[in-house]
Amino acid sequence: MEILGLLDTLESIILDGTRVPFTKKIMVDEEKVLSIIDKIRLVVQGGADFAKKVIAREEVKTETPEKEERPKEEAKAVEILEQAYQMAKEIREGADKYADEVLANLEATSSRILRTIRAGRERLAKTTGSSISGEPEGKVKS
């Protein structure tokens, strides 16, 4: 099944990602991950069509299906579709959780960088005796 190959690719991207020191976080190429997720969505969405085609083929093969077999086939088709939708939901939730973790890490890193910059500017102001404003010099407030 094509989705398993895509999941393997996604896993290898994560395993090959750059580790963030002193954390259990890994940095990955966002474009690659999002591209794989888009492909998985297409496969999952196409899965509903695939299940319908399989059902149609089965109906053609059994020109005169017995009354008891048809509900079983329909129930199996419904089960396949439900599994596909559940799988898609889990993949979406996992992707959203991962994106939230990446954004939280980015936010924390950006905050630390901003604090470092402010501390550096304050230290520089103390040594030079000039005042520090909230805006960089040369930038006009609008």
* Residue predicted with more confidence, 55 or 132: 132
- For residue 57, pLDDT over 90 is answered with no
Backbone region of residue 15 per phi and psi (left: phi > 0; alpha: psi in -120 to 50; beta: other values): alpha
Report the number of distinct structural domains present in the chain: 1
The verdict on residue 122 lying in a domain is yes
H/E stretch holding 118 reads: helix 69-128
Q: What is the pLDDT of residue 139?
A: 52
Q: What is the pLDDT of residue 35?
A: 85
Q: What is the pLDDT of residue 115?
A: 95
Q: What is the pLDDT of residue 114?
A: 95
The verdict on residue 131 lying in a domain is no
pLDDT in tens, 68-120: 567 788 888 888 888 888 898 889 888 888 888 889 999 999 999 999 999 99
- Domain span including residue 91: 2-126
The verdict on residue 132 lying in a domain is no
The verdict on residue 44 lying in a domain is yes
Average pLDDT over every residue of 39-46: 78
- For residue 128, pLDDT over 80 is answered with yes
The verdict on residue 142 lying in a domain is no
Per-residue pLDDT band at 142 (split at 50, 70, 90): very low
The verdict on residue 137 lying in a domain is no
Average pLDDT over every residue of 118-135: 81
The verdict on residue 70 lying in a domain is yes
pLDDT in tens, 19-41: 988 888 889 888 888 888 888 88
Contact 91, 37 (CB under 8 A): yes
The verdict on residue 138 lying in a domain is no
